[in-house]
Structure 1
């Protein structure tokens, strides 16, 4: 059946004993037996993606011993070859399914290989692509440490906000309740009052009813606020007696600080020197720092005049005695987000479902706001201690402030938020003559529809 002149006569005679199917089975068995150790070694040293997890390797199908023993010896050669064992049986140490680390990756005392690894990191050392995208487009708004509180963007914006205080207008009790105007009517009355008294008030940012006879209104510009704060209000508005309640002090956005005043200068002397330079200065207070090595202090004060407030920081210096001291703006601390209903930190009243409680004893109000605390029965809404809920010595509040400061500083540095200023207005769009030039007839005809 097999006639090949290249084969020896005895081999041709031997092969003629078998049919084509038997020869095919013999050849297939020999090929499978010879390729099995190679396949097993490739699986160990080059595992696929699905074999990276530690699990038992699946062995390929080996030819049965009966088929191997049934193959006759070719050309009467004695088989003195050693039995080929699988690679798993030849190794004395257990083999993991994970790829082995190259020998050059071993660390020595010199640290040279460690530096090479730092210069050429592995692929699995890089974070996934979706994590990088998330860090680029959505800045981290949580504290870098293991924190208990999480801060969203609204909390961070509220922390750096510096809103101007509001004003309250209270109508006299002699006015009939049916004659009390609405909030829209009060806003119209105030605008007419500003116009009649020639007050340059741009606009009201808010006017809402805050009681049966009380209304709350505010402005968003520093100049407007100082005009209303320093001005004298009439006793009647459209034949209705009313009273305007102002803020007790100026906000922090109108405060300045004189830095590094020597301790040998008395505070009264420094205050008089500041009043000589800035006559509109009011509300003096002293700031002492424990971390300063030299004995000095700072003086904080508010300015009732917008022109003086804007001009003084531009000069940058203020003379007190023989010293020429630094003058800067005052930056207030980050504001806490807390609820005035349950007095817990982290949310506001609009997001709270709890009833309105007393800020001292946390007992819910009954019959409106009528409530009387029994002695010094204080209770903290954060930790349950015997102190106010927003006490700076509370451990929960202290931890919240520390985490908030770290998170806000990181958000400001990354540009996720910015520190706004009251009265900061966007520039109106100004159209110039050459912004939209008129097309001539030739240009119009060259681009038909």
Structure 2
């Protein structure tokens, strides 16, 4: 047998070095395996805890709304929130009637027919208006078209939307006595509308109510219904409102712009309800 050659010192050193490197690599590999196993254990523990903390899905399904009911509920909300959704019934107010009511609040005139006349024998409101307009034209009374025309039983209700036409119809005696051969009677408003109201301003407090009324009636004979405007704050003077039935006097007083009371001229303006409401809290007390 051949004899083995003895190892040199350098070979012994290299061998020891290789064993140390292998040992170190094995330690690192083992450490990595331990870390990986620890991570897997932690993950399993977390998953178990989360499953334990989750509520019972069966009980939730019992308490929750069924899909069909939820869909119906969503459709209902969507229908209500849709901007184009409109109510089934709409009540439109003609613009002319709204203009008359908001602009001047003028009362209507009533044409009474005989109650013994059958409703089918009465002319329609439109045809009756045309007949009345033709009658006024023949009698040289010029007014604009009526803004309100409707039958209430055997009564024809007529309205206008401006103060000039209203004043003409109040003062005239040229109303027709018959319409299409049927006798009628005219019922005129028995009060002066709010829009025919003037206000005299800055009257000293020491001036009596009687003197204010007397002085105004000397200038405006149709003045009536004197009332004091009471403000929510103290003022050194008083304001008084009153109605004027005659449109000529009403417009003349506004053009003149002032009235002579207690040796002084006081400004006069048209009564504006929205102005009083916006800038003061007021009540009215009739003057004796």
State TM-score, norm by structure 1: 0.36
The aligned residue for residue 328 of structure 1 is 269
Q: 1:248 to 1:292 in 2, by over 3 A?
A: farther
Q: How does 1:170-319 map to 2 (within 5 A)?
A: 170-209=112-151, 211-232=152-173, 233=175, 235-294=177-236, 296-319=237-260
1:334-386 Cα distance to aligned partner (Å, 9 max, x none) = 8xxxxxxxxxxxxxxxxxxxxxxxxxxxxxxxxxxxxxxxxxxxxxxxxxxxx
Gaps of 5+ in 1: 1-65, 67-153, 335-400, 407-449
Q: Secondary structure at the match of 2:239?
A: strand
The aligned residue for residue 36 of structure 1 is none
State the alpha-carbon separation in 1 of the partners of residues 143 and 102 from structure 2: 26
- Point out which structure has higher relative CO (alpha carbons under 8 A, 6+ apart): 2
Task: Give the structure with the higher percent strand.
Answer: 2
1:234: how far off? Answer: 5.1
Q: Is the 8 A contact 2:100 2:161 kept in 1?
A: no
Q: 1:158 to 1:171 in 2, by over 3 A?
A: closer
1:217: how far off? Answer: 1.6
State the alpha-carbon separation in 2 of the partners of residues 191 and 260 from structure 1: 44
Q: 1:307 to 1:158 in 2, by over 3 A?
A: closer
Q: Is the 8 A contact 1:289 1:297 kept in 2?
A: no
1:95-136 Cα distance to aligned partner (Å, 9 max, x none) = xxxxxxxxxxxxxxxxxxxxxxxxxxxxxxxxxxxxxxxxxx
State the alpha-carbon separation in 2 of the partners of residues 159 and 227 from structure 1: 19
Give the greater-gyration-radius structure (CA): 2
1:290: how far off? Answer: 4.5
State the alpha-carbon separation in 1 of the partners of residues 181 and 245 from structure 2: 31
The aligned residue for residue 90 of structure 1 is none
State the alpha-carbon separation in 2 of the partners of residues 158 and 192 from structure 1: 23
Gaps of 5+ in 2: 1-27, 29-94, 280-288
State the alpha-carbon separation in 2 of the partners of residues 162 and 202 from structure 1: 15
Q: Secondary structure at the match of 2:274?
A: coil
State the alpha-carbon separation in 2 of the partners of residues 303 and 197 from structure 1: 26
RMSD across aligned C-alpha pairs, in angstroms?
3.1
State the alpha-carbon separation in 2 of the partners of residues 225 and 281 from structure 1: 17
Q: Secondary structure at the match of 1:193?
A: helix
Q: 1:219 to 1:159 in 2, by over 3 A?
A: closer
User: Are residue 167 (structure 1) and residue 109 (structure 2) matched?
Assistant: yes
State the alpha-carbon separation in 2 of the partners of residues 312 and 179 from structure 1: 47
Q: Is the 8 A contact 2:150 2:157 kept in 1?
A: yes
State the aligned residue count: 182
Q: Secondary structure at the match of 1:241?
A: strand
1:203: how far off? Answer: 1.9
Task: Give the structure with the higher percent helix.
Answer: 2
Q: Secondary structure at the match of 2:214?
A: helix
Q: 1:267 to 1:238 in 2, by over 3 A?
A: farther
State the alpha-carbon separation in 2 of the partners of residues 159 and 246 from structure 1: 17
